[in-house]
Copies of this chain bind each other. A is one copy, B any other.
Amino acid sequence: MPPQHESAADDEKLWAELGLDIDFHRRVVEAISGNFARQVESRPLRPAGMGYFDGLIHAAHGRRVREIMARKAAGAKFVGTFCIYVPEEVLLALDAAYLALCGGTAVTIPHAEKTFPRNMCPLVKSTLGLAFSNTCPYASLEDLAVGETTCDAKKKTWDILGREGGFHVLEVPQKKSPAGRKLWLEEVRAFAAALEDTTGNRLDAGRLAEAVRLMNRKRRALARLHELRRAERPPISGTDALVVMQAALIDEPARFTEALERLNEELAERLTRGISPFSDGAPRIMISGCPAVLGNWKVHHLVESAGAVVVVDETCTGTRYFSGEVAETDDGLEARLEAIADRYLGVDCSCFTPNAERITNVLRLARESRAGGVVQYVLHACHTYNIEAINVAAALKEAGIASLKIETDYSDEDAGQLGVRLEAFLESLEFRNGR
């Protein structure tokens, strides 16, 4: 059962119970819902199966919070995460309730900028702003927060947030060397140990194997969605696919996977019947780079409003999240932890130097999805994706694929200008293709 949409009155009661700033929280929820209605729900020919995922977006500050509270009442601990580098299998095997607490709304950012630098990633500032403005419904429920070291902005933010404890930081190595792999394996072990402490549960080889199977099934369902989008006329918009990915980061994995498998069936059926929200020959775009988390549909909306179709997301809310399965081994707990560590170390985040692996993947994904052009999506002040964009653009150019880099934040201020740039880019693609 997906979490049901409840009445506004019920939600307000919940927010009061959690001690949130009710008035400002209402503004946050209205801003997210308003963008969602305008940028996502208004899209034509949406699959029926999107109902589940839309419901999750709406439930994020209501019913989903109550679910976590119910899990806590039944004895589970709640863990907040901020990155797809946090091994979910370990969280699942230790029966922790968890979800990604990354902020995708501009509304809370001024609250972060009172103490944090303005010249910083909007995702981090939005997340901080939710906490600082007392509008994150999950904050008071958190038994542990798990940060990582994938970028300077997040890494140093954990220093500030971690001052009062309740924070575990996973060190992601910066080179994929044998020494880096050893470090990462020790970090995964330390994470498991910290989580054992928090939950009071002991990691068990059987439960871990089960978690690995579930997460692999979830990854296969996401990969299947990704494949379905490769069709000549994709049966789903990139904006809707993004909503699915955003839901993946906040939903219970088993329930999510079943809903996605149903959606995939509907999409396969649509394919055979030739149903697509896009006209023939719509320019095919790959979005590459930074994540777009719940609340943030800006660039997908701009690209698809301009008549193009986003056929693949080479991002943390895209292929980086689901690519590569954890090897399913019978060799006991230690071997399973190693297999988990290896899968996550395979993620081609721009935090690595060098990162030739990502360049290879970008080219492969663009070709597999027959993308006519690539939009490199860089969140403002994200040095790693911003600088890596140079190598990515060069490799794409050499492969004959056009690309456009967009550095933007969560505000609407640059939407007009971005729209103009995107339209010019799409026109140039059509010109190249002789259309």
Contact = CB atoms under 8 A, between A and B. Distances in A.
A220 interface: no
Contacts of A173: 171, 183
A179 B169 contact: no
Interface in A139-171: 149, 151-153, 155-160, 162-163, 169, 171
30 contacts: A116-B387, A116-B390, A117-B383, A117-B386, A119-B380, A119-B386, A120-B383, A120-B387, A149-B174, A152-B152, A152-B351, A152-B387, A155-B353, A155-B384, A156-B353, A156-B384, A158-B353, A159-B387, A160-B391, A162-B354, A169-B354, A171-B173, A171-B179, A177-B186, A177-B190, A179-B182, A179-B183, A179-B187, A381-B383, A383-B383
Interface centre among A160, A169, A354 (most CB of B within 10 A): A354
Interface string A178-197: 01101100110010000000
Given A119-B119, A171-B173, A179-B183, A149 B387 contact: no
Contacts of A183: 173, 179-180, 182-183
B387 A117 contact: yes
A255 interface: no
A183 B177 CA distance: 10
A152 B117 contact: no
A159 B391 contact: yes
A276 B123 CA distance: 50
A157 B117 contact: no
Contact of A152 (B151, B160, B175, B355): B151
A350 interface: yes
A417 interface: no
Given A152-B384, A182-B183, 16 more contacts: A116-B390, A117-B383, A119-B380, A119-B381, A120-B383, A149-B353, A152-B351, A152-B383, A158-B353, A162-B354, A169-B175, A171-B175, A177-B186, A177-B190, A179-B190, A182-B182
A7 interface: no
A173 B172 CA distance: 9
Interface string A278-297: 00000000000000000000
Interface of A: 115-117, 119-120, 149, 151-153, 155-160, 162-163, 169, 171, 173-175, 177, 179-180, 182-183, 186-187, 190, 350-351, 353-355, 380-381, 383-384, 386-388, 390-391, 407
Contacts of A160: 387, 390-391
Nearest to A162: B354
A174 B380 CA distance: 23
Contacts of A179: 171, 182-183, 186-187, 190
A1 to B, nearest CB: 40
Nearest to A386: B117
A214 to B, nearest CB: 29
Given A355-B159, A390-B160, A149 B175 contact: yes
A158 B384 CA distance: 11
Contact of A159 (B163, B169, B353): B353
Given A183-B182, A186-B179, A156 B117 contact: no
Contacts of A388: 156, 159
A366 to B, nearest CB: 20
A36 to B, nearest CB: 29
Contacts of A387: 116-117, 120, 152-153, 156-157, 159-160
A391 B174 contact: no
A383 B169 contact: no
A180 B180 CA distance: 9
A190 B351 CA distance: 21
Contacts of A116: 387, 390
Contacts of A386: 117, 119-120
